[in-house]
Amino acid sequence: MKIDNTPITPAGTRETDQTKTAARTSGHSPAPDRTNETAFSVDISATAGQMSSEVADEDQARRDKIAAIRAQLAAGSYSISGRDVAEKMLETIKG
């Protein structure tokens, strides 16, 4: 897919070097450049903000759990039963 960044004039046509030259010679000024203007705005509701903070809390809880497991692995005190591993493997295979 090719994306063309050529500006579109208010008349709906693409602005080219020829149209710029024609506008200068005819006395018409080209359309103002509005590429940096905001076309819309977005407001985040209080509910969305609350959901965002809940996700951050869950992420922190997950990081804390991972840090605890890493510390146990480093100390050599982390153990898990073979049965638990086998059950998780079977659950994964069953899908």
Q: What is the pLDDT of residues 42-92, one digit of tens each?
A: 787 888 878 888 888 888 899 999 999 999 999 999 998 999 999 999 999
DSSP class of residue 8? B
> What are the phi and psi torsion angles at 80 (to 5°)?
-140, 145
Please answer whether residues 59 and 49 qualify as being in contact, where contact means their C-beta atoms are separated by less than 8 angstroms.
Answer: no
What are the domain boundaries of the chain? 1-31, 49-94
Model pTM score = 0.38
Q: What is the pLDDT of residues 85-94, one digit of tens each?
A: 999 999 999 9
